[in-house]
Amino acid sequence: MELLEFARGPALTFAIAVFIGGVVFRIVSLFMLWRTRDSTANRAHERPVVIAALREIIRRMWPESVYKQRTLFTAINGYVFHIGLALIVFFLLPHIVFFDDLLGLNWPHLPNNVIYAISIITAISLIAALVMRIANPAMRIISTFDDYFSWLVTFLPVLTGIVATSHLGARYETLLGLHILSVALLLVWLPFGKLMHWFLAFVTRSQTGAHLNHRGAQL
Amino acid sequence: MPERGASCLDGQTTGMAWSVLAEVGRLLEALAQTGEPGYIDLRSLPLTDADRGELETLLGRGEVHADLSLAGASEVWETAYAGAWWIRHRGAGDRIAAEEIAVCPVPEILKTHPVDIQAASRRLRHDLQQPRDLQQPRPEPAAELSETTLETSHVCQE
Amino acid sequence: MSAKNNVPDKNTGPAQTAAQSPAPTLGETLAERGVSRRSFLKFASYTASIMALPPTAATAIAQGLAAARRQSVIWLSFQECTGCTESITRAHAPSIEDLIFDFISLDYHHTLQNASGHAAEAARETAMKENAGEYIVVVDGSVPLKDDGIYSTIAGISNLQMLEETAKDAFAVIAVGSCAAFGGIPGANPNPTGAVPISDIVTDKPVINISGCPPIPEAMTGTIAYLLSFGAIPELDHLGRPRAFFGEAIHDRCYRRPFYERGMFAKSFDDTGARQGWCLYEVGCKGPVTYNACATLKWNGGVSFPIQSGHGCLGCSEPNFWDLGGFYKPLSTAKNEPLKWAAGAAVAGAAVGAASAMAARNLRNKSLKAAAAAAPKTAAEEKE
């Protein structure tokens, strides 16, 4: 029980503190940097900045038709594991209980076996993403430690969650402890690697949209 | 009051009674062909109260029923299938402490051991020699126990 | 109560195996009291069944018990609540479960013995001397170590001292209850008396942990019966608990498991789900991580157990169960209050973020100024 106690206790407390501190650090340090002022004149058909920003966030949710052929699988596979992860995290009852205890928020849950099926699909989808990265020569050349480690800290909670739910291989308290520790690892790494796209994706897409909009690009 | 306390599955049968009955069938066949006794510990099986009742009904009752009083009440009866005996041991408050199905000619617990017989014989001989006085209460029986009385091969014996 | 009694030697009786002393066997002693051979068999069947032993073991148990000497047991009570004694004793008519008290000679027990004061301690010392190497020590309650163990003393000596001197010549030590097995209530945060489990002190001989708060009575009596019958320790798990009683989690044998699998949970006590007997995960049940026989043997003679009565499992047979975050905190929640640190962490993150941004800005300004200073004069400036 000691592993589980450590995982639920000091490990989670530390991980959540680092997660909050790290995310705030990244966002504050980014927004407090200088801005290059663009003093050029307004272009024709320029949309309001906020609209342009929002449009770009939505526009980039699907590949351009020019690239679609080559990136279709990556796009679909990406949606599969992103949606899968969201469903698992937010609609499995023990997870909802965790959020309820932490934040006081509560919402309906999906049946356990539905989530179980989704998590198998998500795990396969994540493995496919890794295989694609390694098999593609260009991707392999440009991949860094961040890419692989971020993949690992995302995959481990899904894997340990499946193993714990299935009560496979070790005593349940050990499996649950490992699952919670893997989530703690994810939380600690998130602000400092490419997983920060949880928050920054909306920032970068907005900035790109606003900038291109001002330059008169018809998107 | 239910035997083991109410639980949501108690009223439902799960089909276990038929599995146990099949096992009894296998043991009875072995006994018939080779004389080897068999034994099923009902307490260790996941039987609901309804399952146990169903099993009791399926096995039925035979010609023999014995009530034992030893450290609480116990019951032994031969089921409708000769050679398959039901042994029910009750403990404190008449709850069922142990329950088993013994497949053998006669359960060991019903038999009287030779050493007990010798002791009883000695005692009766002694009582017969006493002056007959009907007002005197008979002395309480006291069985003589020793290691050799328990050198039995199993619960059941030929 | 002592191992010897006043029965004259029976020459017609069977040869005594391994008879080192003229003391009668258990079988002979109990025969005198009218405990028949059939009662032995009944008890043996019962013990074999609850210890999850094969049926053939019933005969071995009956033989072993009959051939044994009446076992001297010294029960030491330290930092405890007497719940374990309450659990093992009975108030009603003698029955199969009470036979264990016929099989042992309970030579020392604070609550049950007649003697008190010096006479009680003398009884303990006599039992230790007469049965050296053969007596069993049963301990309930934890032992305080802080400040030389002054927080619990009996007969003028600390618990630590009494345990060390009593366990020295014992055959085996049974730590009964979660306090003796793992530290229990006295050992819970902040553990002001420095309470430790018995196994931390007795390291030179086997210690069997029968945990639980209190333990299930059959777990205690079944283990003692096993020890008497076979003269050996039953199979133990990694925490020193007999596998026969602690081998499975409550969750694995819980009758509410189908509701868990189907995701039907009671949200609070006495709501609709609770009334229909749904799983108690959300109200803090620790069943999945607790190992005990509650779901099968149950309590009070098989009447019920906490989950059946509508309350989640407390995890009382596990170490540190008092410090798991709370009886009503589900297993999937954080144990402490992580958000306690949230504000501080955010402020710290903001401060570091601001500082790094300012540093970057300063660096940029410096390099811009340096570039401006080092730049060649423009034609306009040249003219001036």
Q: How many contacts does A have with C, using Cβ atoms within 8 A?
A: 137
- Which of the residue ranges A157-161, A164-168, A206-210, B86-90 has the most confident prediction, judged by mean pLDDT? A157-161
Q: Which residue has the higher pLDDT, C280 or B13?
A: C280
CA distances from C325 to C193, C249, C316 (A): 21, 20, 13
**What pLDDT band is residue A1 in, cutting at 50, 70 and 90?**
low
For residue range C154-197, list pLDDT tens digits in order. 989 999 999 999 999 998 999 999 999 999 999 999 999 999 99
pLDDT at C300: 77
pLDDT digits (tens, 9 = 90+) for C343-377: 899 999 999 999 999 999 999 999 999 998 887 76
Put simply, the answer to whether A18 touches C251 (Cβ < 8 Å) is no
Read off the pLDDT band of A90 (50, 70, 90). very high
Number of Cβ within 10 Å of residue A167's Cβ equals 15
Residue B139's pLDDT is what? 53
Give the homologous superfamily in CATH for domain A2-22+65-214: Transmembrane di-heme cytochromes, Chain C (1.20.950.20)
**B/C touch flag: 3 or more CB pairs below 8 Å:** yes
Is B98 in contact with C45 (Cβ distance < 8 A)?
Answer: yes
Q: What is the pLDDT of residue B9?
A: 61
Query: Across chain C, what does the average pLDDT equal?
Result: 84
What's the gap in Å between the CA of B58 and the closest CA on chain C? 23
| Average pLDDT value for residue range A162-183 | 93
Encode pLDDT of C8-41 as tens digits.
233 322 222 333 455 677 777 777 777 777 888 8
∠ CA B1-B4-B9 to the nearest 5 degrees?
100
Whether residue C49 and residue B98 make contact (CB cut-off 8 A), yes or no, is: yes
Nearest chain C CA: its distance from A36 CA (Å): 12
- Rounded to 10 degrees, the C-alpha dihedral B104/B108/B110/B113 comes to 140
Q: Is the pLDDT of residue A58 over 50?
A: yes
Helices (H) and strands (E) counted in chain A, each on its own, are 10, 0
Candidates C318, C336, C346; nearest CB to A24: C346
Beta strands in A130-182 (DSSP E): none
Radius of gyration of chain C (CA): 31
- Cβ proximity of B120 and B71 under 8 Å: no
* pLDDT above 80: residue A185: yes
Adjacent-strand bridge partners of B41: B100
- Show the CA angle centred on residue C136, arms to residues B70 and C169, nearest 5°: 155
ipTM at complex level: 0.83
Q: In what order do the strands lie in the sheet with C207-210?
A: C104-108, C71-77, C136-140, C172-176, C207-210
Chains that touch A (3 or more CB pairs under 8 A): C
Tell which residue, A12, A179, A89, A98, has the closest CA to residue C341. A12
Q: What are phi and psi of C291, to 5 degrees?
A: -110, 115
C14 CB neighbours in chain B (<8 A) are 146-148
C228: Cα separation from own chain's centroid: 21
- Of A73-77, A141-145, B145-149, C321-325, the range with the lowest mean pLDDT is B145-149
Chains B and A touch (3+ CB pairs under 8 A): no
Check residue A46 and report its DSSP letter.
P
- The Cα of C273 is separated from the nearest Cα of chain B by a number of Å equal to 13
Taking CA atoms, A170 is separated from A138, A158, A175, A177, C303, in Å, by 40, 17, 7, 11, 32
What value does the mean pLDDT take over residues A188-202?
Answer: 95
Residues C227-235, mean pLDDT to the nearest whole number: 86
Mean local confidence (pLDDT), B5-20: 73
Q: Which residue has the higher pLDDT, C255 or A159?
A: A159
Q: Does A35 touch chain C (CB under 8 A)?
A: no
Q: Does domain C248-347 have CATH number 4.10.480.10?
A: yes
Residue C329: list chain A partners with CB under 8 A.
Answer: 101
Is B108's CB within 8 Å of C303's CB?
no
Residue of C nearest to A16 (CA): C338
pLDDT of residue C384: 57
Q: What is the pTM of this model?
A: 0.79
Please tell me the predicted confidence (pLDDT) of residue C11: 31
Mean pLDDT of C264-284: 92
Q: What is the pLDDT of residue C8?
A: 27
Helix (H) or strand (E) holding B66: strand B65-69
Q: Which of residues 36-95 of A touch C (CB under 8 A)?
A: 93-95
| Domains of chain B (ranges, CATH numbers) | 16-104 (3.30.1370.140)
Contact flag B155-C59 (C-beta cutoff 8 Å): yes
Check: CB of residue C187 under 8 Å from CB of residue C197: yes
- Determine the pLDDT at residue B143: 45
**Domain range annotation of chain C:** 71-217+238-246, 248-347
Q: Check if C238 contacts A (Cβ < 8 Å).
A: no
User: Averaged over A127-156, what is the pLDDT?
Assistant: 95
User: Does residue C326 belong to the interface with chain A, where contact is any CB pair within 8 Å?
Assistant: no
Question: Are C332 and A94 an interchain contact pair (Cβ–Cβ within 8 Å)?
Answer: yes
C274 contact residues in B (CB cutoff 8 A): none
Dihedral sign, Cα of residue C77, residue C80, residue C86, residue C87: negative
CATH 3.40.50.700 is right for the domain spanning C71-217+238-246: yes
Residue B5 has pLDDT above 60, yes or no: no
pLDDT band at C381 (very low <50, low <70, confident <90, very high): low
Partner A contacted by C269 (CB < 8 A): no
The string of pLDDT tens digits covering residues B134-146 is 555 555 454 444 4
